[in-house]
Structure 1
Amino acid sequence: MARVVRFHQHGGPEVLQIETVDVAPPARGEVQIRVKALGLNRAEALLRRGTYIETATFPSGLGLEAAGIVEAVGADVAGFAPGDAVSIVPPLSMVRWPAYAELATFPAELVVKHPPELDFETAAAVWMQYLTAYGALIDIAGLARGDVVAITAASSSVGLAAIQIANRIGAVPIALTRTSAKQRALRDAGAAHVIASAEEDIRARLEDIAGARGVRVVLDAVGGPAFEPLTAAMSPGGMLIEYGGLSPEPTPFPLFNVLTKSLVLRGYLVHEITRDPARIAKAKAFILDGLSDGTLKPIIARTFRFENIVEAHRFLESNEQFGKIVVTI
């Protein structure tokens, strides 16, 4: 028996319930984890509300990231043993492999022995943010030293991960945030420049910062009207990678900018990386190296107890956080 978080209908944070259920042993090729910490992601709020790319089957579990201790291993699993400290690469389906639980089971290929210097709270904050940012910036866009990259929703965990990755390879990260309230924190987190999108002219500021070379890569989680000024400031042949859609406003297609600059506008899901063995291996190596040498450092906004999961989800949807929200068990 173990406590799990489930919901029986779509809705706000209040639909989340902690229940005690029987937990089956790990099947062939699976590893069961005694969870010590969870990393929260906006995708989980979307699943809970019924607006995610995956459909919940009630009663539904949820959760994409966890860190803890190996409890048991299934048949044909090599390299893991009970007692190992591990963290989890986000699975393709959180309905099939939900992380919000005292005991959670995952495919062995998604289980990682993280650097021993990481505590469980930090380890639970690693994989979604760095895999998402790495996949977009390095794997797809080929971001290189000297490139200028504009990062929207920069105070999110993925935004902060993107800033760190850009700095690690010598690119120039420009952080976009709605107001100037988080400007100092973003600079302290490594942003070379910060633009308050609700207070400043986005295009003018980007052009002033980037100069003649322009912005080669835009990592965007927002969409909406900002597409026009973002693409207007991009360099010829630049790439805008869209991985979110936070804006409630329509997203215009910037036809003139795309045509005149031969821009690439590309949708992106982290699953592109996690379901490809060769690409995930490269991503893991890059991230683990960065964690070990200190160039990649997860920033935790706030930590909640498992019993306060509803409050944690309310904070997740408040947009007040700076970095990752973690829940401990």
Structure 2
Amino acid sequence: MSEPTSPAGEPSPRTMRAIVVSETGGTDKLVATDLPLPPLRPDWVRIKVRAFGVNESEVTTRKGLSGPDVTYPRVPGIECAGVVAEAPAGSGLTSGQQVATMMGGMGRSYDGAYAEYVLVPASQVIPFTSDLPWETLGALPEMVQTAYGSLSTGLDLRPGQSLLIRGGTSTVGLTAAAIAKDLGATVLSTTRRPDRADMLREAGVDHPVVDHGEIAGSVREIFPDGVDAALELVGAGHLHDTLRAVRVHGTLCFTGALADQWTIPDFSPLGFIPNGVRLTAYGGAATDLSADVLDHQLRAIADGRLKVSVAKIYHGLESVREAQADLESGAYPGKHVVVLD
């Protein structure tokens, strides 16, 4: 095999900088380290990372709470945007091509995007062409995939329908609101902080709803019969109340648990699910986000029809500690993005 080359045509380095978690704990466990370049594997693609989002799941991995599928030492990072450094023959990918990737065990069962290079299966690499800045592109893969998949696969949302998003100031919530408005839906979205209602309106939300623990009554003041669709991002502990905001023959999709409650003790459908309301779920994978869908979202962003909520931009791998600390603080709503200059 010939020596691998970089997107610029220069020989690729044999080592790279990466953030490694060798033992779990606080942000001090995110250690910048020199590692060998990820060795090539059949049907895998080596990507030069240009930007990546920082996510709650990576904080969970750093703390050692991700479950038995995560082993250490581990390079975290479940998503990134970058360019192809080397791709297998027949993949349809070329050196220097812009690509995005996310999830699929990335940063959990194999090393992820907190690095100068990442190696991922070709099946979860999405090519695109865009003039948007890397700090915008790096914010998109996980939250666009999750939001779009929830609205399409989970809810089959249609133009003209009403959508309730519980957990509206989360990155997925803000993205879902923007995508739903672009589709032509009427969007209600929750926040626990009244001072963030204007931020929701700027994201395209028609009706901000302040969440004091119960929201079904407030939602039915706006839509007396209930909403057509609801996206649950806060967790199982709020699911019963969110279901009560949905109309008969409407649908609720359970996608996230920002409050870290994923299960319902002693669950009995009778009495928990209102008569005639449909309950679905969405977990998703990179393969659920097609190149055509990503291209549509990128063009909507470039045209100003879709707003990307970026909380803060960080530069260089050494800034990951600050980014995770800011994410945990909750002081900056929106996506935290690290750009590798």
Q: Same fold by TM (over 0.5)?
A: yes
1:88 to 101, 105, 126: 101
1:171 to 185, 188, 191: 185
User: What amino acid sits opposite 2:224 in the alignment?
Assistant: G
Task: Give the Cα–Cα distance (whole angstroms) in 1 for the partners of residues 323 and 38 of structure 2.
Answer: 27
1:46 to 60, 82, 92: 60
Give secondary structure in 1 for the equivalent of 2:329.
coil
Give secondary structure in 1 for the equivalent of 2:292.
helix
User: Equivalent residues in 2 for 1:237-256 (5 A)?
Assistant: 237-247=249-259
Task: Give the Cα–Cα distance (whole angstroms) in 2 for the partners of residues 248 and 81 of structure 1.
Answer: 40
1:287 to 291, 294, 303: 294
The structural deviation recorded for 1:89 is: 3.5
User: 1:211 aligns to what?
Assistant: 224
User: Equivalent residues in 2 for 1:101-120 (5 A)?
Assistant: 101-120=115-134
Task: Give the Cα–Cα distance (whole angstroms) in 1 for the partners of residues 69 and 26 of structure 2.
Answer: 16
User: What amino acid sits opposite 1:134 in the alignment?
Assistant: Y
Task: Give the Cα–Cα distance (whole angstroms) in 1 for the partners of residues 102 and 217 of structure 2.
Answer: 39
More helix by share: 1
User: Equivalent residues in 2 for 1:198-237 (5 A)?
Assistant: 198=212, 202-212=215-225, 214-223=226-235, 225-237=237-249
Deviates more, 1:45-54 or 1:175-184: 45-54
Preserved contact between residue 162 and residue 186 of structure 2 (Cα < 8 Å): yes
Task: Give the Cα–Cα distance (whole angstroms) in 2 for the partners of residues 312 and 159 of structure 1.
Answer: 20
User: What amino acid sits opposite 1:235 in the alignment?
Assistant: R
User: Equivalent residues in 2 for 1:1-329 (5 A)?
Assistant: 1-52=15-66, 55-73=69-87, 75-95=88-108, 96-198=110-212, 202-212=215-225, 214-223=226-235, 225-247=237-259, 258-271=272-285, 274-275=286-287, 279-281=288-290, 284-293=291-300, 294=303, 295-305=305-315, 306-329=317-340
Task: Give the Cα–Cα distance (whole angstroms) in 1 for the partners of residues 192 and 259 of structure 2.
Answer: 11
Q: How many pairs align?
A: 319
The structural deviation recorded for 1:87 is: 2.2
Q: TM-score, normalised by structure 2?
A: 0.86
Preserved contact between residue 156 and residue 321 of structure 1 (Cα < 8 Å): no
Unaligned stretches of 5+ in structure 1?
none
The structural deviation recorded for 1:9 is: 1.6
Provide closer, same or farther for how the CA distance between residues 256 and 210 of structure 1 changes in structure 2, counting only shifts above 3 A.
farther
Give secondary structure in 2 for the equivalent of 1:98.
coil
Preserved contact between residue 81 and residue 99 of structure 2 (Cα < 8 Å): yes
Q: Deviation string for 1:101-139 (max 9, x for gaps)?
A: 011112223223323222211111111111111111112
The structural deviation recorded for 1:224 is: 5.1
User: What amino acid sits opposite 2:170 in the alignment?
Assistant: S
Provide closer, same or farther for how the CA distance between residues 32 and 121 of structure 1 changes in structure 2, counting only shifts above 3 A.
same
Q: Indicate the percent of aligned positions where both proteins have the same amino acid.
A: 28
User: What amino acid sits opposite 1:237 in the alignment?
Assistant: H
Give secondary structure in 2 for the equivalent of 1:144.
coil
Preserved contact between residue 83 and residue 96 of structure 2 (Cα < 8 Å): yes
Task: Give the Cα–Cα distance (whole angstroms) in 2 for the partners of residues 247 and 78 of structure 1.
Answer: 40
Q: TM-score, normalised by structure 1?
A: 0.88
The structural deviation recorded for 1:92 is: 3.3
